[in-house]
Amino acid sequence: MSIIKLMDTNLSNKIAAGEVVESLMNIVKELVENSIDANSTTIKVELIDSGTKQIKVTDDGQGMDKEDAQNCLKRHATSKIYTDDDLFHIHTLGFRGEALPSIASVSKMTIETSHDDIATKVIVNAGIIEEVSTSTLDKGTIVTVEDIFYNTPARLKYLKSLYTELANITNYLNKMALSKPNIKFTLINNDKTILSTDGSNNLLKVIYNIYGLEVTKKMVKIEQENDDYQIDGYISYPEEARSSRNYITILVNGRNIRNYDITKAILESYHTYIPKDKVPIVILNITTDPSIIDVNVHPTKMEAKFSKQDSLISLISDTISKSLEKLTLIPEVKYDKQPIKNINEITTINNDVDFTSKDEVKPVFENINFDFSIDENKAQISEDDTPYEKEKFKMIYPLALVHGTYIICENEDGIYLIDQHAANERINYEYYLKEMGKSSNDTIDLLVPLKLEFSNQEYIILKEKFYILDKLNIKYEEFGSNTLIIRSHPTWIKKDYVMESLRKITEVIITSNDFSKEKFNEKIAITLACKMSIKANQHISLEEMKELILRLRETENPFTCPHGRPTIISYSNYELEKLFKRKAE
């Protein structure tokens, strides 16, 4: 007797829903993407209780006729692809034909749609069409999804909290608004507006809607291309770094995706500009021929594979790095007339949305100038760019030292505070990195050899990595048990810090897992720079301060230490005058 049977349609749809509908955000995602593919210019998402009770998506797109309104509920029914070749030239956000039947199978759904002046209403319950009738809708489509997972209680049980679900939906809508600034997006939860864009095709306005004006003013336009890819978008100044990777938005042909290698390339471009636990705000749009990418990787279509990824990674890294090199990155301290007294007063329109706010968010653009052409021109990169010769910042003159740590300086623009340790750390870091990168084999013989002792465990690990000492031109001999005698060292190790430097170098060798010359040099440079720099509470003379500033101005990136902390902050004359009430507010 045969035991293999065809699966019931409703059962297969519920299984598909387990892959496609992982959360309420996935439902919103699939419905919004359908609206975008229908050439909508306005998309409104309305939620009740973060979508747990109802999700309603309204658009002004091309709509469907009566037959299509029913066929769209069948599995693998789609208007996006028809042949094998279409699968490798995908121009739409949706194409699988699984989303609507999957969502309908675990909810109560109503579809109202209008096409060629004929409006249709379809009522679906748990994937079964219960009613097809005429509708009074004039244009577009309205899809209402209610009682999500009512017939799959196990899935309902594992939904996140209302705040988490709403935050995920908000994050997704933010990214879609950034990818489609020509579409007017509205997100409403329990009659409160969370996001509203105007569809004016001005990306900076969308950035303002999501992140606020101060962030918008610290965004830099990037634009570059090679034979395979074109990239454009905005990157933030390092001072606007955040803690969550959600602030990195990667778009491929208008599709929001996740890609570890691209994210890694972005973060490495900001290396030493921001701390390791921080990420920049980035909106990166990648445009390419659909034939060299594959978005058919995961049912949610949020992952993509690239056939020429090395070319893309190189383009992204070079463009962001060159853009940052052209900026003056001294954070300015600003006077806030009304400091926040209570943490509960802080509201944003991103992952930390104030869902209890009684007032709707109504962006006002009349008095805001979104033409940040100065910053954009600084960062635009072209293929024939010559090396950037401009001084990194104007000369500043030291006046005094505060708390043995911060150098007070001035010039005609205002006053400055320099962290003497961070500044010296940047100088030493670039010195060691440059010297270690040279192919010179120059060494210094020690008149009195140095003895380094290790624990038995450390010595076993170090002995396996003696070849690294050879690569660094450190001449050594084994001496007794768990001991090395050092007879010479490379010239870049400073005379007064030989023993301490050798200790740090061997520590890095012992604790490093995989040897890569570039990464190893980087780690050694950071370690030595930190240990060999002026410490906090170490008083230096005015002449030493001036010498430190002169050397800092000669570095490639004088604005941050190797750990990403700022070396300089400034108070402009305008801000000082406001503080002392010399300027009108």
Q: What is the pLDDT of residues 330-349, one digit of tens each?
A: 888 876 654 433 433 333 33
The pair of structure tokens assigned to 24 is 């309420």
The CA distance from 515 to 472, in Å, is: 13
* Contact predicate 75/96, CB 8 Å: no
pLDDT for 525 equals 87
| Sheet with 397-402: strands ordered across | 397-402, 406-411, 414-419, 568-572
The pair of structure tokens assigned to 207 is 């950035």
Distances (CA, A) of 251 to 25, 179, 367: 18, 7, 30
3-class DSSP state for residue 118? Answer: strand
Residue 96 confidence (pLDDT) above 70: no
pLDDT for 344 equals 37
CA neighbor of 483 nearest in space, from 508, 529, 516, 449 = 449
pLDDT for 5 equals 56
- CA triplet 234, 284, 60: central angle to 5 degrees? 100
pLDDT for 161 equals 82
Q: Torsions phi, psi of 230, nearest 5?
A: -125, 130
Contacts 24+ apart (CB under 8 A), 84-87: 87/296
pLDDT for 364 equals 36
Give the bridge partners for 123, in sequence order: 110, 131
CA neighbor of 139 nearest in space, from 38, 238, 207, 209 = 38
* Contact predicate 256/175, CB 8 Å: yes
The CA distance from 57 to 45, in Å, is: 5
pLDDT for 157 equals 64
CA neighbor of 188 nearest in space, from 353, 366, 31 = 353
Residue of higher predicted confidence among 384 and 105: 105
Chain centroid offset of residue 386 CA = 29
Mean pLDDT to the nearest integer, 577-583: 82
pLDDT for 2 equals 57
Residue 548 confidence (pLDDT) above 70: yes
Q: Which value, to the nearest 10 degrees, does the dihedral of the CA atoms of residues 432, 434, 438, 444 take? A: -30
DSSP string, 207-276: HHHHH-HHHHTTEEEEEEE-SSEEEEEEEE-GGG-BS-GGGEEEEETTEEEB-HHHHHHHHHHTBTTB-T
| Residue keyed to tokens 């500044």 | 423
Q: Torsions phi, psi of 190, nearest 5?
A: 50, 45
Give the number of other Cβ atoms within 10 Å of residue 60's Cβ.
20
pLDDT for 226 equals 92
pLDDT for 197 equals 94
What number of residues does the chain have? Answer: 585
The CA distance from 150 to 167, in Å, is: 22
pLDDT for 172 equals 92
Q: Torsions phi, psi of 336, nearest 5?
A: -105, 110
Residue type present at position 505: I
Residue of higher predicted confidence among 506 and 292: 506
CA neighbor of 510 nearest in space, from 531, 534, 490, 482 = 482
Residue 86 confidence (pLDDT) above 50: no
Instruction: Give residue 4's pLDDT band: very low, low, confident or very high (50, 70, 90).
Output: low
Residue 471 confidence (pLDDT) above 70: yes
pLDDT for 522 equals 84
Instruction: Give residue 28's pLDDT band: very low, low, confident or very high (50, 70, 90).
Output: very high
Q: What is the average pLDDT value for the chain, to the nearest integer?
A: 81
* Contact predicate 169/49, CB 8 Å: no
The pair of structure tokens assigned to 381 is 């990169």
Q: Torsions phi, psi of 340, nearest 5?
A: -70, 125
Q: Alpha-carbon torsion 400, 405, 409, 413, what sign?
A: negative
pLDDT in tens, 555-565: 999 999 999 99
pLDDT for 156 equals 66
Residue 15 confidence (pLDDT) above 60: no
| Sheet with 255-257: strands ordered across | 219-225, 229-236, 282-288, 248-252, 255-257
Q: Torsions phi, psi of 319, nearest 5?
A: -65, -45
Characterize 30-59 residue by residue with b for buried, 16 or more Cβ atoms within 10 angstroms of its Cβ, and e for exposed: bbbbbbbbbebeebbbbbeebbbebbbbbb
CA neighbor of 106 nearest in space, from 24, 210, 204 = 24
Instruction: Give residue 74's pLDDT band: very low, low, confident or very high (50, 70, 90).
Output: confident
Chain centroid offset of residue 297 CA = 22
Residue 258 confidence (pLDDT) above 60: yes
Distances (CA, A) of 35 to 41, 58, 185, 240, 585: 9, 8, 11, 33, 46
Instruction: Give residue 464's pLDDT band: very low, low, confident or very high (50, 70, 90).
Output: confident
pLDDT for 13 equals 52
Instruction: Give the gyration radius of the chain's Cα atoms.
Output: 30
Beta strand pairing status for 568-572 and 42-48? Answer: unpaired
pLDDT for 17 equals 47
Distances (CA, A) of 39 to 28, 61, 250: 17, 5, 22
Give the number of other Cβ atoms within 10 Å of residue 282's Cβ.
24
pLDDT for 315 equals 95
| Residue keyed to tokens 């066929």 | 71
- CA triplet 125, 129, 133: central angle to 5 degrees? 115
Mean pLDDT to the nearest integer, 156-165: 77
What are the structural domains of the chain? 9-159 (3.30.565.10), 203-343 (3.30.230.10), 439-491+495-531 (3.30.1370.100)
pLDDT for 263 equals 93
| Residue keyed to tokens 């609507």 | 100
CA neighbor of 255 nearest in space, from 87, 29, 72, 40 = 29
pLDDT in tens, 352-404: 334 333 343 333 334 444 554 334 333 343 444 444 445 788 999 999 999 88
